[in-house]
């Protein structure tokens, strides 16, 4: 699957598991989730992952923590990779701050 490969390339140190009954990539906690539906692929990069790319995501349906990529359009793999790399950096910074405490 293209989406899984894009995430794996953007976060090679992440592990995979099933969480909330959907595929999840983890790196110092949950990084991103995704799931296929009848008309779209749901991508869940947490609210911060959506807020950081609000302008680039304006053509997609979004909510607080979800993005819908329609199945009748190509996946924006470069954008997905950017979001995942952002989440990796964010997760690493949070883990580092926790260790300092």
pLDDT by residue for the chain (101 residues), tens only, comes to: 799 999 999 999 999 999 999 999 999 999 999 999 999 999 999 999 999 999 999 999 999 999 999 999 999 999 999 999 999 999 999 888 888 86
Q: Which fold has domain 2-83?
A: 3.90.1150
**Domain boundaries in the chain?**
2-83
State the DSSP H helix or E strand holding residue 100, giving kind and residue range, or none if neither.
helix 77-100
Q: What is the pTM of this model?
A: 0.94
* CA angle (73 as vertex; 69, 76 as ends), nearest 5: 60
């Amino acid at each position: 699957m293209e989406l899984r490969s894009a995430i794996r390339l953007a976060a090679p140190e992440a592990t995979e598991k099933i969480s909330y009954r959907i595929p999840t990539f983890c790196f110092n906690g949950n990084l991103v989730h995704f799931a296929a539906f009848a008309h779209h692929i749901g991508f869940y990069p947490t609210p911060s992952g959506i807020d950081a790319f609000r302008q680039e995501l304006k053509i997609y349906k979004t909510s607080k923590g979800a993005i819908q990529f329609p199945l009748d359009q190509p996946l924006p793999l470069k954008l997905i990779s950017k979001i995942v790399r952002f989440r990796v950096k964010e997760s690493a910074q949070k883990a580092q701050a926790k260790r300092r405490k």
